[in-house]
Structure 1
C-alpha cells in the first residue's frame, strides 16, 4: 500500500508521464522534483502501482498498443491526404515512441581488474607516444 502522496504521484504520472511534474503535483518539493521522480519511478511498489493502473486504464478504454498505433497511422494517412508533413512527422514520432525506438541506449562498462596499471602506463606516455598509438603505430 502506497502513502497518499505516492498514490497521488502515480495518478499524476499516469496522466502525463512526466515524472518531475507528477512529483510537483503530488506535493513534493519543487527544487527536488526531478530527483524525487527518479527515486519514485525506480521504487518497486510505485512501479507496480503504475503498471497496474495503466493496465486498468487500458482495459477500461479497451486499448492496447497495436490499436493506438493503428489509429495514429490512420491520422498519418489523413495528414498525408491534407499535405500536412508536420502532422505526419509528429504521428510517426508517436509511433516510434510507442514501439520503444526512443528509449535511452544502455551501455555496460566493465572495469578491467588491472585498470589502474593501464591508466598509470598511459599517463606516463608522452603526447607523441599517445599520438602514435592513436594512429595505429605501436611503441
Structure 2
C-alpha cells in the first residue's frame, strides 16, 4: 500500500511550507492594514488522521473581538470584500463554519466570533506537500511576530 507521502508530487521543504503560510499572512495583513494582531502561531499539521506525512504549514492569527456578534459578522464581511479585491477567492469545495478564502494554494478561514474564546481568528492552511517533517517535529507551535 502506498502512503500519502509517496503520492505527493513536487514536495515542499519544511521551510517552504512555513514560508507559504507566512507569505499569505503578510498578504492578508497588508491588505487589512488596520487589523490588530493579538498573537500569531505557526505549526505543521498532518494532513491525515494518523499524524503521518504529508504535513502542511498552519497558522492562527488572533485579533480582538467585536462589540457584538452582528458587528463581528459585518467586520468579517468587509475584510472578505477587501481580500477579494486583492485576489483572494472562494473555494466551494472547502466546508467550514467560518468564511473561507483561497489564494496561492493557501486557505484562509475567518472563524465566527463566539463566547468561549477571548479573540477572533484567521486560520491559514498551506498545501499538504511537506513530506520531510515527522510526527515528532510536527505539533510544535511557534509564536511569530507579524506587523
Per the normalisation by structure 2, the TM-score is 0.25
Which structure is larger by alpha-carbon Rg, 1 or 2? 1
Higher strand share: 2
- Higher relative contact order (CA closer than 8 Å, sequence separation 6+): 2
Per the normalisation by structure 1, the TM-score is 0.26
Higher helix share: 1
